[in-house]
Amino acid sequence: MAGSADNWKTQIRKGYLELCILMLIRRHKKLYGFDLLEKLAMVGLDVKEGTLYPLLNRMSVDEFLSATWETENIKGHPRKFYALTKEGAKFLDEMRDEFDGMIGIFHQLRAKGALS
Amino acid sequence: MNTDPRIERYLSVLESRLKAFSVGDRAEIVTEIKSHVLTALERDPQANLDHVLAALGEPETVANRYLLERGLKPGKPPISPVVKWLVIGFLGTVAMVLLFAVFLLMKFSPMVNSIANQEGLEVLNELFDGESEESGVGRFALKGILSAGRFNGDLELSEQRAINVKFTNAKIETVKSEDDTFAWECDGVGAGAPESEVRGGVAELNLLRMIGAKCMLAIPKGAKLSLDGTNAKIDLDKPLFNVHARVGNGKVEITPEDGVDYKYELKIGRRKKMDFTSSEKPDAYLLHIELNNGRITRGR
């Protein structure tokens, strides 16, 4: 039973995390991994580094994100900045609409006492 | 700028676990992770490198997450030292057992030893019992479970002159006995030797405990031979005796003696076999053979 609940949480969190990542990148135009981790933590989403980077990698392969290497100063090391592609922006809109719909249903049900 | 060897080690393991990716992809992933570690140390100079690497997770686990995200098969998780030593211990034990087995074989060698003066065999230094019988024909037994070899014997016929042979699977050949003795010589493997006795005036030979018995039966003139079994190949070579055979499946070959009369009662299933010329003379030998399935042929 506990295993099922954990699995459900993992699944829903994964989709939710993708949505949050795309929203944060849209707001800041471009972000690199470490920055993204900090910003997610600031809104209460603690994500492990070992989870975030593979996710960013996959979203780049899916062409929702574009990546560029930039070095802030001569002594600094290169950082991989992620920005939203056109596809990513479209996907984000779809995700947001879907999520809004789900939240609406959830609130409706809750108001009717289906959930205590 | 020199990088800490711990970072290099971590990145090296990570890179080695990403073989399913292209060289370019691997390099990009490794550079990004390295960038993350350096940024973490840069933002917090008090940060402990080991903690930063631990927060990332084991390089094998991180590599597997990359593989899973891309729909690729993840590699095996790293083996913990405890499991590693358990496996080594197990393999070591197996090796010791094998060495012991080789030692035993060497100690008991030669595996098969012929003992000429006792007309027997020693196998694995008498682990198996080889013995000789009075008849001079060798018998070989394995702890009383399985016997193999040649078995022979004979029985004097009573006035009834009846012989009853029972078997499961057998190849039986009959020859004429020179005297009034029913004799046999059988080869085969089984849970026991053939059993023989005279019961109610009938000489009985029981081959039921043998598998694939191959027997030569010497039958006295005028005897009544009864054969009862499941599967058989029977050769009746110039019989000068009566036969009553009832066999499930098999092949019977009859080679009549020249100038001797026979009365044939041959049946395969429900069908009577009529191509043998039967004699109605009272002194004709009766050959009554019933097969459920099989063939009855004439020998040359």
Residues recorded for chain A: 116
pLDDT tens figures, B18-69? 999 999 999 999 999 999 999 999 888 888 999 999 999 999 999 999 999 9
pLDDT digits (tens, 9 = 90+) for A73-99: 766 789 999 999 999 999 999 999 999
Task: Centre a 10 Å sphere on the Cβ of residue A73 and count the other Cβ atoms it contains.
Answer: 6
Mean pLDDT for chain B?
A: 82
Chain A nearest CA to B77, separation (Å): 15
Residue B198 burial (C-beta neighbours within 10 Å; 0-12, 13-18, 19+)? middle
- Closest residue to B32, CB basis, from A33, A50, A55: A33
CB pairs under 8 A between A and B: 56
Distance, CA of B6 to CA of B173 (rounded, Å): 85
Nearest CA to CA, how far is A87 from chain B (Å)?
18
Residues of A in contact with B28 (CB under 8 A): 80
B85 or B149: which carries more pLDDT confidence? Answer: B85
Mean pLDDT confidence for B155-179: 87
Task: Compute the distance between CA of residue B34 and CA of residue A76 in angstroms, rounded to an integer.
Answer: 13
- Contact flag A34-B39 (C-beta cutoff 8 Å): yes
Q: How far is B39 from chain A (nearest CA, A)?
A: 7
Contacts of B10 in chain A (CB under 8 A): none
Alpha helices in chain B (DSSP H): 5-16, 23-43, 49-56, 59-69, 81-108
- Most B CBs within 10 A among A57, A63, A72, hence the mutation to make, goes to A57
Which residue's structure tokens are 């059993």? Answer: B195
B35 reaches A (C-beta below 8 A): yes
Q: State the nearest Cα–Cα gap between A107 and chain B, in angstroms.
A: 32
Cα separation of the two ends of chain B:
102
Distances (CA, A) of B118 to B113, B131, B141, B150, B262: 12, 8, 16, 17, 48
Residue spans of beta strands (DSSP E) within chain B: 112-115, 120-123, 129-132, 138-142, 146-156, 162-176, 181-190, 195-199, 202-206, 210-219, 224-237, 242-255, 262-268, 271-273, 285-298
With CA atoms as reference, the chain A residue closest to B70 would be: A58
Q: Assess contact for A34 and A103: CB atoms under 8 A.
A: no
- According to DSSP, residue B118 is labeled G
- The pLDDT tens digits for B93-150 are 999 999 998 887 776 655 555 554 444 555 555 545 554 444 434 444 444 445 567 7
